Structure formats: C-alpha cells, structure tokens
Amino acid sequence: MQIEVLEPRSVAVVGAGYVGLTTGACMAEIGHSVICADTIREKVERLQVGDIPIHEPGLSDIVTKNLASGHLSFVVGAAAAVADADVVFLCVPTPQGDDGRADLQYVYAAAKEISQLMKPGTVVVNKSTVPVGTADAVAAIIDRDDIEIVSNPEFLREGTAVSDFLNPERVVVGAQETQAAARVAGLYGTLGAPIHLTDTRSAEMSKYAANAFLATKLSFVNEVATLCESVGADVSDVMKVMGSDSRIGAQFLSPGPGWGGSCFPKDTRALLALANDNECDFEMLRSTIDSNESQFDRVVGRITGLLGGSLVGKKIAVLGLAFKAGTDDTRDSPAIAVIRRLIADGATVVGYDPVAQDVVLEGLSKAVEPYSAADGADILVILTEWAEFGKLDFGKISELMNQALIFDARNLLAGEDLKELGFEYASLGVTENVAVS
Ligand code: UDX
Ligand code: UDX
C-alpha cells in the first residue's frame, strides 16, 4: 500500500507516562496537534508548565517548544482529550498481573471511558504492549461501527526514546481495514521510516516476539559470560567476534546483572502466559526468564565469593539503581533484584544513582554522591552502566574504602587502570584468580 504523508492531524494520547509523553511530544514535534491526557492531576499540572516528571534526554526541550507553539497541551482525564481527535493513542500501563498475564484493566477502562465521546471516523490505536487479541477486545468494548482499532506498538527504549521515535527503524501498523491503517501510518509519513502493514494480531505478536527475542539474546550472552569465567575465555572478545557476524548483530551483546525494566520482564512473562493459554509449550522462553533470575543469583555469588564466602556484616557500596543508564526508571531493575539478595544475605548496602533517587527499599540506605557510598565499604559494585562512573576519582575511592575491591557487573570500568591503583577488580565473563583446568 502507498503511504501518503497526510496533513497534520488532531491526535489524543491517553496516559502521559514514559511512552505516552514521548509519543505525544514527538507527534507534536512532527507537526500534529496533540492533547495528552493523564488521570494524575498533579502530573498534568506539572506538564502544563513544561515540568517533565521523568528523566528522558531531549524530551523536556520538545515539550517546552511544542507547549509554546500550541501544538501540545495536557488535560486531566481521557474524556477531555478525545472529542476532536482523528487518532487516539492508548498509552496506559499494562502491568504484569498476579498470574503473569498482562493486566489490561487500564486499557479496557480507557476504551470504555472514551467509547461514546469520539467523533465518527476516529481511529483508536493500542500503543501499549498488549497480548494478541486485545485490539479485538477493545473493539468489542467500544462497540461502534464508525471507529476502527489499530495496533501500533512502541519500540521506544528509555534513555533514547525521543531519538527512537523520530528516527525509527520501522513503524508497525496492524489493522483490519486499509483506511484506518493508512491514517495511522500517515501520521509517521514525514519520518521516512519503513512501514510494516499487517493485521492487528500479527502487530501485537511482533512486539512481544521482538522483546522476547532481545531478552533471549541477553540471557544467552550472560550464560556465555559465565562459561567464559569457567574456561578462561574473555567474553568481550567473544562478543566482538559474534557481533561482527551480521546475522547476529553487534548490539545487545553486553553482559550485565540481568535484564530488567518496565518491559522485558512483564512482556516475556505475558508471552509465556499467552503460549500456555494456547497450549503451546514455549520452553525456550521459560529458560530465558529462569536464566535471568539465576543471573541475579550469580552476581550475588560472585560478590559473596570476593568477600570470602559470607556477606554477614559486610558493607557494600552499589553504584547504579536504575535498570539501565539513561533513565530514572527502577521498575524491575536488576540492580534492585541484586540489592534485595545482598540485604537478605546479611550485607549492609549503600546505593547511589545519579538520577534514580526515589528508590525506597528496606535495608538500603542511599548516598547523595558516590564517594560517601564508598566510604568504609568492603566492596564497590557497579550495577548500572552510567558513563560517569568511569570518570570517578578511584584514588580517592580507594582511600575511602575499607578495602580496595570492585565488582563490575556491567564491565564498564578500565580494570587494568584500577589494578594499577591497587584495586582487586573483577567483572563478568573473565577469569579472575581462578585456576583454569
Ligand atoms: C506503558 C505500558 O505499561 C507498556 O506496556 C507499554 O508498552 C507502554 O505504555 P509506560 O509509559 O512506561 O508503559 O507507563 P507509565 O510510565 O506507568 O505511564 C502510564 C501513564 O498512564 C501514567 O502517567 C498514568 O498516570 C496514566 N494512566 C494510568 C492514565 O492516564 N489512565 C489510567 O487509567 C491509568
Ligand atoms: C525495551 C525495548 O528495547 C524497546 O524496544 C521497547 O519495546 C521498550 O522496552 P527498554 O526497556 O527501555 O526498551 O530497555 P532496553 O534498552 O531494551 O534494555 C533492557 C534491559 O536489557 C536493561 O536492563 C539493560 O540494561 C539490559 N541490557 C541491554 C543488557 O544487559 N545488555 C545489553 O547489551 C543491552
């Protein structure tokens, strides 16, 4: 199908979180007229004056610019946003339910709330990650012949969400009807990205499959890193070789303390639940998830080993609380998963993160800067790959610590330089002081 670059449209976005706010602001940035709605009044009032409640590079500038130009506005409640919209994006949360399935209550409630408020011809778009069949369920709730439901999954990585939106590798549009598909695809026309047109179920499935594949890639990398430690290989060299094969690709090959965030953990579990519900045994995905849980334990095992076999009474300085660098998001953060285990095993943990400072966890005390976290510590552990951790004054850190010992679970630091400063330095996927048989 030929995708026309349509004239600017009226767009409503329901849910102004990481995804909705980025989507709304970027839609305004490319010329559309956008109203973003959220149920939290305080959040809306902050957004109305350009105060961004999340850390997302570049987002503040485009929100401020488009508020000033009148292309972007914020309102409380979906009902106030949708009356004149040509397209309504649903960007409300789809958290993991108790049974592993995606909890769709917010999607369904938003659909119900707006169902009778939209003008004929409006297209409703599921942007949140939702199980296969959700577009049909939303259509049943809205129950109008003059409204089409389209699936247009997001591929926005936190930390680079603005750039991912404005320079997408692809735009996926799943629809049962060509005019609705063209209307949604046309919104992105000026971006020049490849547009994949498909049916709603394939679009919903492709989002889950993409995230599950990436999670599987990371679990594989972390397992290979563990094996490298046992056999005396160096995971960074191994990954360089693997990544130079274009069939594998050089990205997403960094070992770490496990994968996390607001998407991978819930999306992998939701896909597994979907498979179970459809009597498909997706054994490999179960292993991917289990392997990630084991990775948290492996990291704790390495730290325990470095501290002589017990964490009781040890003081551990942790650098990094966010689930990855570039965001303040700590939802399902591997750093938190590891810290919980360290505390359970008897350690005292002091954590520092340059932006994720709102974490509240029993037993975790927080430092306002990295040096006070290191003060008196028996080991310094890197759990998030903030580049600024590589630029710290490690001479000073060594003097502050009880012993000069670092475990780098992001392979971020220059180990050789640290060893010259007198540190014992260990990281993932390399043999440290282990006799290789
Ligand atoms: C959400 C989904 O959880 C995820 O699956 C999807 O891929 C992208 O959208 P995210 O944007 O990170 O993720 O969620 P969050 O930052 O929690 O933002 C959701 C926003 O919706 C919040 O600001 C919340 O206040 C708002 N909201 C929630 C509504 O406006 N209405 C509701 O009924 C519920
Ligand atoms: C993800 C998807 O990548 C994105 O397309 C969208 O669907 C939202 O969900 P995000 O959650 O922002 O994005 O994080 P991502 O960059 O994918 O990282 C996920 C986890 O994998 C993080 O914990 C990260 O630290 C980890 N990771 C990533 C590694 O451990 N090593 C890598 O090489 C890459």
| Cβ pair 314, 343 in contact under 8 A | no
Plot region of 82 (φ>0 → left; ψ -120 to 50 → alpha; else → beta): alpha
On whether both 271 and 164 belong to a single domain, the answer is no
Tell whether ligand 1 has an atom less than 6 A from the beta carbon of residue 250.
Answer: no
Residue nearest to atom 18 of ligand 1 (CA): 17
The pLDDT value given to residue 4: 61
What is the reported pTM? 0.96
| Nearest-angstrom CA–CA distance, 49 and 388 | 30
On whether both 316 and 400 belong to a single domain, the answer is yes
Given 169, 198, 227, which residue is the final one in a domain? 198
Out of 263, 293, 295, 321, give the residue to mutate to test ligand 2, the one with the largest number of ligand atoms within 8 Å of its CB.
263
Could you tell me which residues come within 8 angstroms of residue 260 by beta carbon, excluding any fewer than 6 positions away? 323, 324, 331, 332, 333, 334, 337
Ligand nearest to the CA of 212: 2
| Nearest-angstrom CA–CA distance, 284 and 95 | 23
On whether both 171 and 194 belong to a single domain, the answer is yes
Return the axis-axis angle of helices 200-231 and 283-306, rounded to nearest 10°. Answer: 40
Minimum-distance ligand 1 atom for the alpha carbon of 91: 9
Out of 23, 128, 218, give the residue to mutate to test ligand 2, the one with the largest number of ligand atoms within 8 Å of its CB.
218
Report the C-alpha dihedral over residues 58, 64, 70, 73, rounded to 10 degrees: 90
Residue nearest to atom 27 of ligand 1 (CA): 15
Cα–Cα distances (Å) from 240 to 223, 243, 244, 250, 430, in that order, read: 16, 5, 6, 7, 14
Q: Which of 150, 127, 138, 166 is CA-nearest to residue 19? A: 127
Domain assignment present for residue 1? The answer is no
On whether both 158 and 238 belong to a single domain, the answer is no
Distance 405 CA to ligand 2 centre (A): 28
On whether both 251 and 142 belong to a single domain, the answer is no
Domain assignment present for residue 64? The answer is yes
| Nearest-angstrom CA–CA distance, 195 and 172 | 6
Domain assignment present for residue 322? The answer is yes
SS3 63: helix
On whether both 132 and 245 belong to a single domain, the answer is no
On whether both 56 and 145 belong to a single domain, the answer is yes
Chain centroid offset of residue 410 CA: 17
Domain assignment present for residue 4? The answer is no
Distance 31 CA to ligand 2 centre (A): 29
Distance 156 CA to ligand 2 centre (A): 10
Q: How many CA atoms lie within 13 A of 274 on its CB side?
A: 21
Structure tokens at 256: 């770490």
Domain assignment present for residue 335? The answer is yes
The pLDDT value given to residue 435: 45
Q: State how many domains the chain has.
A: 2
- Point out the residues that are catalytic: 263
On whether both 65 and 153 belong to a single domain, the answer is yes
Distance 32 CA to ligand 1 centre (A): 21
Domain assignment present for residue 218? The answer is yes
On whether both 320 and 383 belong to a single domain, the answer is yes
Tell whether ligand 1 has an atom less than 6 A from the beta carbon of residue 15.
Answer: yes
Given 165, 198, 231, which residue is the final one in a domain? 198
On whether both 171 and 205 belong to a single domain, the answer is no
Q: What is the pLDDT along the chain (437 residues), one digit of tens a residue?
A: 556 656 779 999 999 999 999 999 999 999 999 999 999 999 999 999 999 999 999 999 999 999 999 999 999 999 999 999 999 999 999 999 989 899 999 999 999 999 999 999 999 999 999 999 999 999 999 999 999 999 999 999 999 999 999 999 999 999 999 999 999 999 999 999 999 999 999 999 999 999 999 999 999 999 999 999 999 999 999 999 999 999 999 999 999 999 999 999 999 999 999 999 999 999 999 999 999 999 999 999 999 999 999 999 999 999 999 999 999 999 999 999 999 999 999 999 999 999 999 999 999 999 999 999 999 999 999 999 999 999 999 999 999 999 999 999 999 999 999 999 999 999 999 986 444 44
Q: Which of 180, 182, 149, 268 is CA-nearest to residue 218? A: 268
Domain assignment present for residue 315? The answer is yes
| Nearest-angstrom CA–CA distance, 2 and 18 | 31
Given 198, 227, 245, which residue is the final one in a domain? 198
Tell whether ligand 1 has an atom less than 6 A from the beta carbon of residue 394.
Answer: no
The pLDDT value given to residue 2: 57
Domain assignment present for residue 364? The answer is yes
Q: What's the CATH number where 48 sits?
A: 3.40.50.720
Q: Which of 173, 152, 428, 126 is CA-nearest to residue 302? A: 428
Amino acid at 91: C
Q: What is the DSSP letter of 96?
A: B
Cα–Cα distances (Å) from 390 to 10, 284, 334, 413, in that order, read: 45, 36, 20, 5
Return the axis-axis angle of helices 235-243 and 200-231, rounded to nearest 10°. Answer: 140
Distance 391 CA to ligand 1 centre (A): 35
Tell whether ligand 1 has an atom less than 6 A from the beta carbon of residue 323.
Answer: no
| Cβ pair 311, 304 in contact under 8 A | yes
Quickly list DSSP for 115-176.
TTTSPTT-EEEE-S---TTHHHHHHHHH--TT-EEEE------TTSHHHHHHS-S-EEEE-S
Ligand nearest to the CA of 236: 2
Tell whether ligand 1 has an atom less than 6 A from the beta carbon of residue 94.
Answer: yes
Range(s) of the domain holding residue 26: 10-198
Could you tell me which residues come within 8 angstroms of residue 237 by beta carbon, excluding any fewer than 6 positions away? none
Residue nearest to atom 33 of ligand 1 (CA): 106
Bridge pairing between strands 379-382 and 364-366:
unpaired
Residue nearest to atom 13 of ligand 1 (CA): 93
In sign, the C-alpha dihedral spanning 41, 46, 52, 54 is negative
- Within 6 A (CB) of ligand 2 lie 155-158, 211, 214, 218, 252-254, 256, 259-264, 323-324, 334
Distance 337 CA to ligand 1 centre (A): 23
Q: What is the DSSP letter of 208?
A: H
The pLDDT value given to residue 431: 85
Bridge pairing between strands 364-366 and 348-352:
parallel
On whether both 219 and 165 belong to a single domain, the answer is no
The pLDDT value given to residue 434: 46
On whether both 345 and 367 belong to a single domain, the answer is yes
Distance 114 CA to ligand 1 centre (A): 16
- Using alpha carbons only, how large is the chain's radius of gyration in Å? 23
